[in-house]
A and B are shown apart, each in its own frame.
Chain A
């Protein structure tokens, strides 16, 4: 364990970008946890006398068309955006990994049926499928989470299948089998912990994608309803003011959205270097 820690510290010191990503991540988590109690203004309070004023000392990121403070809204929105991303990735991770492991470990019909399901999801352009699912299940926040989970599922299922397939005849699995462990016990107690590091890298990489996807859905008017503060919907609000020069309404929420995705992608790359240096490109 100390060996792994030393390696992690070495990678972090070698790669300041990863360190920066972890710092940014800490900041985002802080915003999500404590944000609502830290912000200077009520994110929903409108003040039409101060509508569409540019960034200033009292309103750091300016105000929107209803005079709401954009800085406060962005910070409060962190919880919503990270919440959607984390929940949907957790769902995709749990279900996808389980399906993938079973497919890879048991093979045969299990593999064929699960493979077919995964292939069918992959036959759609993923964002379009998410649109269709939300349209069919109803335009709610929960359905945004389900849709994002479903389109992320194939990544986990495929990765877990490949990794479990390689390990099904491995020595430690044979040993566990010889000791009389049941198949389910081997899958959950031996194979799953063994492929966990690789799966965690994928979690970080797909978190960024999940945030982009959820923000995209709310940008076209699905999911989060106004006046809830959420990055995608705030960018959509600001879109109509871009052509008349009020850039800050869309710019700052977009910037935060970008920073969050950037952070998860960098962190994923960094984690991959720690977990599996060979996969570096």
Chain B
């Protein structure tokens, strides 16, 4: 029931996203028909395309057409590759998803302990580390961090593989099951490929993790500080509860709520940073697909990419809402 109600709150966002993507398609500078027809097209060819693509009809009718195509899963065809946009996005999505999820896991795994320890010992060296990380992390351009890591670990130290995609030239992709190379290679029992895929993943994952770590560590520290200073913690301490129980069960469970909310913002950052990191590491995900299309002025893939990213983001926010409800029983009671 609660899940349904949450789903309903996501509907206006989805509607808004679809309307904006539609308007962006129709906001092409100049005459979109001439644009799609190409430079060498005759006037008659342009008229034909205008009719074919429905640009001679009214805006509401065009919008209904757009909705009908969307419902059929038709995002148009890429001009440069000739492939339907949807199938190309689906093929490339696992690469981006694997990278983003690994980065998120890594940054949560570092940010939470860092923030908690900093809050427990304010003014200590770990608190200073936390402050430096949070201030520097938000200032680092993600593509610059990536290049620095490549220079240090690939060129200078020689321990990282060349930043050229998901696997080196000697490995072949594992049999397709989930599209996540780490998972698929383990399922196939191919440890060599697993190691190769992991090696390729390390630098881009670290790049994105450094970027997303800052807001998470900052909010963890702040909310942990607030929770530790509150009266129910004093009561818990005074009642003689074990220190670990007070910190991790009583304080952390309350402090984690703002952290979950911040995850929404972190996802917005991560999905955007994804595009830049994919360019630096020649990662064959949907971000580099969009960049290739942008440079070739190939419009349909860019629109498909923006729509996919926005839908993913709406769904992620929905998931965050649901998790929030699970962690905080007060939300469930009031709903």
Contacts and interface: CB of A to CB of B under 8 A. Distances in A.
Interface stretch (A38-46, A134-142, A192-200): A134-142
B309 A125 contact: yes
A235 interface: yes
Interface stretch (A5-13, A52-60, A173-181, A238-246): A238-246
B8 interface: no
Given A135-B294, A136-B28, A128 B271 contact: yes
A25 interface: no
B144 A128 contact: no
A122 B299 CA distance: 23
A119 B16 contact: yes
B294 A220 contact: yes
B144 A257 contact: yes
Given A261-B141, A262-B136, A137 B302 contact: no
Residue of B150, B154, B221 most packed against chain A (CB within 10 A): B150
B279 A219 contact: yes
B12 A116 contact: yes
A208 interface: yes
Residue of A124, A208, A221, A262 most packed against chain B (CB within 10 A): A124
Contact of A258 (B12, B16, B139, B280): B139
A146 to B, nearest CB: 11
A129 interface: yes
A106 interface: no
A131 B302 contact: yes
A125 B268 contact: yes
A136 B25 contact: yes
Given A124-B309, A220-B291, A243-B163, A254 B275 contact: no
19 contacts: A123-B13, A123-B16, A123-B310, A123-B313, A125-B272, A127-B271, A127-B275, A128-B310, A131-B306, A135-B299, A135-B302, A135-B306, A208-B138, A216-B276, A239-B147, A242-B150, A247-B151, A258-B144, A281-B222
Interface of A: 116, 119-120, 123-129, 131-133, 135-139, 208, 212, 215-216, 219-222, 232, 235-236, 238-239, 242-245, 247, 250-251, 254, 257-258, 261-262, 265-266, 269, 281
Given A127-B269, A258-B139, A261-B138, 9 more contacts: A116-B12, A124-B17, A125-B271, A128-B271, A135-B294, A135-B299, A220-B294, A254-B144, A258-B141
Interface of B: 12-14, 16-17, 19-21, 24-25, 27-29, 135-136, 138-144, 147-148, 150-151, 154-155, 162-163, 218, 221-222, 267-269, 271-273, 275-276, 279-280, 290-291, 294-295, 299, 302-303, 305-306, 309-310, 313-314
